[in-house]
Chain A
Amino acid sequence: MEIICFIKQVPDNEAQVEVKGDGTGVNVEERYGLNFFDSLAVEEALRIKEKAGGKVTAITLGPERSVEVLRTAIAMGVDEAHLISDFSLQEGDEASTARVLAEAAKKIGYDLILCGREAFDDSSGAVGPMVAEFLGIPAVSVVTKVEVHPEERKAVVEREMEGGKEEIELPLPALLTAQKGLNEPRVPPVMGVMKAMKAEIKRWNLGDLGLDAQEVAPRGKTIRYVPPPKRPPVRYIKGEPQEMVKELVELLRDEAKVI
């Protein structure tokens, strides 16, 4: 089994994010880590490899600092890591990213592609399904269980949608996006961390993938960034418990008008 994981470096939940005064961008505090859902994808890839043999390759697209998440993946047990960086991808959207990742996957070769359900920073979750479409392979999102049958060239997965639980069978090669509940990602062992520090990271730019800036042009344009609307300061309701609830119910009825 040749397994590819798409992973992304994202800011920590706690990182400060501030919209620039002129709305042209955001300042993000430099606290980064491996996207949570991607860590599930890496873990699942390693478990599949442990059973079926083969190789796990992690790919990320991003600035040079993204190398850190590739090292995290290597420390967890990934065999190979690739960083794709290119100046012309800075303005890219989901389709740009998906196009690039699809080309990289073609170059590397795959039976199965795993990635997280969405990235914590832009949360659109569109890249995975788009890559599948560009590659012409089937995809299932938000999976919570994966069984691979390499000899039959198929996978059987489970997932929970809004309407209930589904079991889906699909032929390989395929792409799956990982949902919470799929597994518990391992903590990288010390030996892994040591190995990761010395591991070679392969680097690509658009030209290496045979793409030009035109082919990865975004299909959307950012106009500006705005700070989130501020909630008015909290109104504390004081008094004895019985008085509190009475006042709260009155406020919910007369002021907030929600009951």
Chain B
Amino acid sequence: MAGIWVFAEHKGGTFRKVVFELLGKAKELSGRVEGGIKALLLGGDEGTAEELAHYADEVYHLRSPFLDLYNCDAYREALLSLLEQERPSVLLAGATFQAKELFPMVAARLGVGIAVDAVALELQEGDRVMVRRPIYGGKALLEMVLEGTPQIVLVRPHTFPPASRRETPAPVVRKEVDIPPEKVRVKVKEVERAKEKVDLTEADVIVCGGRGLKGPENFSLLEELAQVLGGVVGATRAVVDAGWRPYEDQVGKSGKTVSPNLYFAVGLSGAIHHVMGMDTSKVVVAINKDPMAPIFQYADYGLVADLFEVVPLLKEELKKELGK
């Protein structure tokens, strides 16, 4: 086993939460194998690399003026230049839009296997890992092993607990990479940075609303509940298609797939395309006045009640509980 690498996706020095989850999983796997854990940082400054060094056995910090902002051409060439010299057994990344664009290209170039959206990973004989991933929107799961080295696995965010920070930082190895400008064909311009809001895929708590909310103005009820819990608000397809909430809030098969610790399904029926986007949530609470709503089949706790009555009360009760 030649080690496990973790792709440390970040934006302007802020890491995606999934990076720490992958480092935690890598640590668990590496207990049984040699080679250690390397965190791969592309772009970012020295402080970013130093922070990462508290979570891995070594940090590879790849630097080039082309790596300041994510650019799939530049990132791919940088990764390939490194992978030409050294091949880990396993390369882990989060199943984010960025990684889902970048790593299939890397896998194609190296001729190695890739598994996207893994929800479980287990070490098998030698250095092979068994990957489990949902198919048909979670109606079935597939267990597979990959060929080639590295085995590239993109893991669904919020699947594994995060690594703990170590007191002593590991060494940082800086590598200046030479990216031929002609290889960088796409020109990326950031036109709008995402609001400070936590992305749905990274949220610990999601309060999701459906058409039962009756109108966009009533989502403030959910915003307030989410705020008490440090969570974020999601929406169903019907709500997004009606223009009540932006597409980035959509949970479901044609939106985002989420796995928070706690998921509130409020005033939504639980159409299958919605369930496909949230059924790996750890704990689900459904609030709906229709006792026949399918969402109750996918919930741990069910409240057959009027959301307009129950949600404000729940917010107050949680405030009391959490001392806010």
Chain A: residues with CB nearer than 8 A to chain B?
A: 11, 13-15, 17-19, 26, 28, 36-37, 93-95, 98, 118, 120-130, 132-134, 138-142, 158, 160-171, 180-181, 218-228, 231-232, 234-238, 241-242, 244-246, 248-249, 251-253, 256, 258-259
Contacts and interface: CB of A to CB of B under 8 A. Distances in A.
B100 A141 contact: yes
A63 to B, nearest CB: 17
Nearest to B200: A162
Contact of A259 (B272, B276, B300, B322): B322
The 3 closest A-B pairs by CB, nearest first: A219-B113, A126-B104, A17-B139
A220 B146 contact: yes
A226 B261 contact: no
B179 to A, nearest CB: 14
Interface in B270-324: 272-273, 276, 279, 282-286, 296-306, 309-310, 313-314, 317-318, 321-322
B104 A129 contact: yes
B139 A164 contact: no
A165 B191 contact: yes
Contacts of B300: 231-232, 234-235, 256
Q: Is the interface of B mostly helix, strand, loop or mixed?
A: mixed
B45 interface: no
Given A17-B140, A234-B296, A164 B318 contact: no
A234 B297 contact: yes
Contacts of B253: 13, 120
Contacts of B193: 163-164
B166 interface: no
B185 interface: yes
Nearest to B297: A234
A93 B187 CA distance: 31
Contacts, number: 256
A134 B322 CA distance: 54
Given A36-B254, A235-B300, A245-B313, 13 more contacts: A13-B272, A125-B116, A140-B186, A163-B11, A168-B189, A180-B255, A219-B113, A221-B145, A223-B145, A225-B141, A234-B302, A235-B302, A246-B317
Interface residues of B, number: 91
27 contacts: A15-B136, A28-B136, A95-B111, A120-B136, A124-B114, A129-B101, A130-B107, A133-B104, A139-B105, A160-B247, A160-B248, A165-B191, A168-B187, A168-B188, A218-B113, A220-B115, A223-B145, A228-B279, A231-B300, A236-B296, A236-B301, A244-B303, A245-B310, A249-B314, A249-B317, A259-B318, A259-B322
B140 A166 contact: no
A93 to B, nearest CB: 7
